[in-house]
Amino acid sequence: MDGRLVPGAGGAFETINPATEEVLGTAADASADDMDRAIAAARRAFDETGWATDHAFRARCLRQLREGLRRRADELRELTIKEVGAPRFLTFGAQLDAPVDDLAWFADLVEDYGWERDLGRAEPMGMPSHRRVVREAVGVVGAITPWNFPHQINLAKLGPALAAGNTVVLKPAPDTPWCAAVVGEVIAGETDIPPGVVNVVTSSDHALGARLTQDPRVDLVSFTGSTATGRNVMASAAGTLKRVFLELGGKSAFVVLDDADLRAACSYAAFAGITHAGQGCAITTRILVPRERHDEAVEITAGALAKLGAGDPQDDRTICGPVISARQRERIEGYLELAVKDGGAFACGGGRPEGRDRGFWIEPTLITGLTNDSRAAREEIFGPVLVILPHDGDDDAVRIANDSPYGLSGAVHGGDVERARGVAGRLRTGTVSVNGGVWYGADVPFGGYKQSGIGREMGVAGFEEYLETKSIAEGV
């Protein structure tokens, strides 16, 4: 905080390995006073330094941060596997390496972006004027992040916010404080980022982030998490009319058309749906298959899930590791009970895997026999739980896919690419994969329709969330 590594006024709290329940160590437990000091430091750094206006300096600092994190990649990889329960293979992608490398894209964008646009001369109301439009930083950004992909989400906020010239107070989830604290350590010790520009506030108190939404010194809040919490963030920020960017939940559909390779599509849906134990907002957890091939699709999907299983995140072959906590496991088990009450059945899974007495484990699960209006089919479970639903052709598949309060992501698999592309174009979601296409990337905007959020993260659109627009006219 403010360029220094300091203990939390609240002491320290434990961080737990979700695969073993082992106590990994402790993190600084910040208090409300600590948060107040972090906000004050960010405000001061924005108002009293040249950080916001020195584009070349910011680009250099972002590259320093990238290199500093890359030098510590081995340490960060092991930390992420242990603290997050992330499968090792994912740390070579979205759980670590990809978001670190993405910082270079934002550094390049700082240098290439059109910060000023000349509108030329005009004579509004007969008064000769030369007009221009400039883009500049919003100010102090409060970033509130979840535990499921901590490096990706922390850096997806820090990268564009810093590139745009803002200062940041980052409040990470209590479940994964170390992942954020190491980034703060690298910033303080291995970059020229000035004191106060980045302040990482770890705390066991989930509610501490609410102070960012209420404090008038904070100009923008960027929140990633559940839709329910996002509503509270938005309501809390209304008191100061600050800008709010929300990346929220999803219940995304994986649409299999009747001309698709059913085995390939359902096997891929199984893999995608339980990666990182299904703990991703954009993961496709509703599988929509042609009604006439429903039973065959169930057999293929269930077989793939059973083969993948749940395994040690340290193992290179593991796709589905543990869920993050006992509380999250209990929440998932509650949805499994609801599914049975609503008439559903488990084609595979439905409980805790045998032989794993320590750690927070749920078997990869496929639920059949539900309709799209059941709670397990409509609400975000955030676990390795898939629901398979029949459809009666393209129009019906689109109707079911869009019959959701969410609109974050989706997928379409079909033999005729033009037809699959047409179905994808009718889905009311922020991102869509067609036949296995990967939309993730620093240059690709990510965000949702409907109750999946407001605004975009990543890409130029995500960068511009952190900018203000100023129009200037000079008399001539």
Residues 271 and 418 in one domain: yes
Tell me the percentage of the chain whose pLDDT exceeds 90: 97
pLDDT of residue 282: 96
Pick the closest to residue 195 from 34, 30, 44, 35 (CA basis): 44
Residues 364 and 394 in one domain: yes
Work out the average pLDDT over 171-188: 96
In a domain, 439, yes or no: no
Helix (H) or strand (E) holding 346: strand 345-348
Instruction: Provide the residue type at 314 as one letter.
Output: Q
Residues 300 and 388 in one domain: yes
* Contact partners, residue 95, CB within 8 Å, separation at least 6: 80, 84, 86, 149, 151, 152, 276
Work out the average pLDDT over 145-167: 97
pLDDT band at 2 (very low <50, low <70, confident <90, very high): low
d(CA 35, CA 32): 5
Residues 210 and 328 in one domain: no
- Which one of 75, 116, 190, 247 is the catalytic residue? 247
Tell me the percentage of the chain whose pLDDT exceeds 70: 100
Question: In this structure, what token pair is assigned to residue 47?
Answer: 């108002």
Residues 174 and 282 in one domain: no
Q: Give the SS3 label for residue 290.
A: strand
Question: In this structure, what token pair is assigned to residue 149?
Answer: 């992909």
In a domain, 2, yes or no: no
- pTM across the whole model: 0.95
Pick the closest to residue 304 from 346, 389, 370, 364 (CA basis): 364
pLDDT of residue 9: 86
Contact call for residues 165 and 53 (beta carbons, < 8 A):
yes
What CATH number does the domain containing 24 carry? 3.40.605.10
Residues 203 and 86 in one domain: yes
Question: In this structure, what token pair is assigned to residue 448?
Answer: 């949702």
d(CA 294, CA 276): 26
Q: What is the DSSP letter of 352?
A: P
In a domain, 371, yes or no: yes
Residues 205 and 301 in one domain: no
Residues 260 and 242 in one domain: no
Say yes or no to pLDDT of 6 above 90. no
In a domain, 4, yes or no: no
The residues pairing with 16 across neighbouring beta strands, listed in sequence order, are 23
Instruction: Provide the residue type at 256 as one letter.
Output: V
What CATH number does the domain containing 422 carry? 3.40.309.10
Classify strands 129-137 and 116-122 as parallel, antiparallel or unpaired: antiparallel
Residues 350 and 401 in one domain: yes
Work out the average pLDDT over 184-203: 97
In a domain, 1, yes or no: no
- pLDDT, tens only, 74-129: 999 999 999 999 999 999 999 999 999 999 999 999 999 999 999 999 999 999 99
State the average pLDDT for the chain: 96
Q: Mean pLDDT lowest for which of 192-196, 207-211, 258-262?
A: 207-211
354 is catalytic: no
- pLDDT, tens only, 371-411: 999 999 999 999 999 999 999 999 999 999 999 999 999 99
Residues 150 and 260 in one domain: no
Residue span of the structural domain in which 108 resides: 11-248+452-475
Residues 390 and 469 in one domain: no
In a domain, 6, yes or no: no
d(CA 287, CA 388): 5
**Taking the C-alpha atoms of 253, 259, 262 and 268 in order, what is their torsion angle to the nearest 10 degrees?**
-50
- pLDDT, tens only, 43-67: 999 999 999 999 999 999 999 999 9
Work out the average pLDDT over 225-254: 94
- 136, with CB counted inside 10 A (0-12, 13-18, 19+), is middle
Q: Give the SS3 label for residue 171.
A: strand
| Number of domains the chain contains | 2
Residues 167 and 244 in one domain: yes
Question: In this structure, what token pair is assigned to residue 64?
Answer: 């320093």
- pLDDT, tens only, 254-283: 999 999 999 999 999 999 999 999 999 999
